[in-house]
Amino acid sequence: MSSQAERFEKKVTTQVLREMKARGEKIACLTAYDCTMAGLVDAAGIDVILVGDSVAMVVQGLDTTVTVTLEHMLYHAALVRRGVERALVVGDLPFMSYQVNVDDALRSAGRMVKEAGVEAVKVEGGEVVCEAVRRMVRVGIPVMGHLGLTPQSIHSFGTYKVRAREQEEADTLLRDAVLLEEAGAFAIVIEKVPSELAKEVAAAVQVPVIGIGAGPHVDGQILVSHDMLGLYTRFHPRFVRRYGSVAKDMQDAFCRYKADVRSLEFPNSDESY
């Protein structure tokens, strides 16, 4: 087998994710917004890298994801794509780039694939986006769904509390997951819902269900990299496990650098020409 073919064999595709679910192998997903971070995430063997519209909060310093534009997402997705060899790269379609009509959705998704090089897009919502999902899939663009606490709807929800605790909302979510699968979605993210509901959803569909704040009984997990690294510390949801204290490490490094500059410790003779 040629080395290019070998590389392709190792590449994560939507088919690989489906096989992982069938084998009961959990899928590990993280976000990235630039080439350096994406390269590190990819080298760690993470299966899916999402260029999330959470970029609004953890990079742009905003309070919600709703103001992110398609141009912002194209920019960040192109940076990420450059750093990744193995993981499946999924790009978030931002708020109002796919909801007005199916043509808009196709154009937005097409730009993410052609201009930024992502291999799939993610959209939020259930039945309401299914027509767009069907068309995107039919033209060859894999689509990941997103249900539960969908941050683009924060102004409707009015709160970041756990979703679908009530039976009616839980029934709708379960139905939406089935409809997304029927429309051709290759995976579904479910965010901040009770574990038992997430378990039911994962059992109801063949496609992988990726949880964030949705407990352990799903087919994989996703976290925002800046949250799990302890780099973004403005708030700390209960579902985020911190695997680092990067904000603290960076702050310490900046302080030590400043002290060295002030005291003429930096640069020394080895660091000079």
Active site residues: 191
225 near ligand KIV, rule: CB under 6 A: no
Q: Are 214 and 190 in contact (CB under 8 A)?
A: yes
Give, for 203, the enclosing helix (H) or strand (E). Answer: helix 195-204
Q: Is 101 left (phi over 0), alpha (psi -120 to 50) or beta?
A: beta
Least distance CB 189 / ligand KIV (angstroms):
5
Which residue's CB is nearer to ligand KIV, number 154 or number 261?
Answer: 154
Expressed in percent and rounded to 5, the helix, strand and coil fractions of the chain are 50, 15, 40
The set of residues, in sequence order, having a beta carbon less than 8 Å from that of 81 and lying 6+ positions away, is 38, 89, 116, 117, 118
Q: For the window 15-54, what string marks contact with ligand KIV as x by the rule CB under 6 A?
A: ----------------x------------------x-xxx
Residues 75-134 that bind ligand KIV (CB under 6 A): 92
Count of residues near ligand KIV by CB under 6 A: 11
Task: Tell me which of 222, 228, 229, 231 binds ligand KIV, using CB under 6 A.
Answer: 222
Number of helices (H), then strands (E), belonging to the chain: the values are 12, 8
Least distance CB 82 / ligand KIV (angstroms):
19
Least distance CB 219 / ligand KIV (angstroms):
14
Least distance CB 59 / ligand KIV (angstroms):
11
Which residue's CB is nearer to ligand KIV, number 111 or number 146?
Answer: 146
Which residue's CB is nearer to ligand KIV, number 21 or number 146?
Answer: 146
Q: Are 160 and 239 in contact (CB under 8 A)?
A: no
Which residue's CB is nearer to ligand KIV, number 31 or number 97?
Answer: 31
Q: For the window 56-75, what string marks contact with ligand KIV as x by the rule CB under 6 A?
A: --------------------
224 near ligand KIV, rule: CB under 6 A: yes
Which residue's CB is nearer to ligand KIV, number 1 or number 118?
Answer: 118
Least distance CB 29 / ligand KIV (angstroms):
8
Long-range contacts of 33-38 (CB under 8 A, 24+ apart): 33/58, 33/59, 33/76, 33/79, 33/80, 34/76, 34/79, 34/80, 34/83, 35/79, 35/80, 35/82, 35/83, 36/83, 37/80, 37/83, 37/225, 38/79, 38/80, 38/81, 38/82, 38/83, 38/84, 38/89
- Residues of this chain that interact with ligand KIV (CB under 6 A) are 31, 50, 52-54, 92, 146, 189, 212, 222, 224
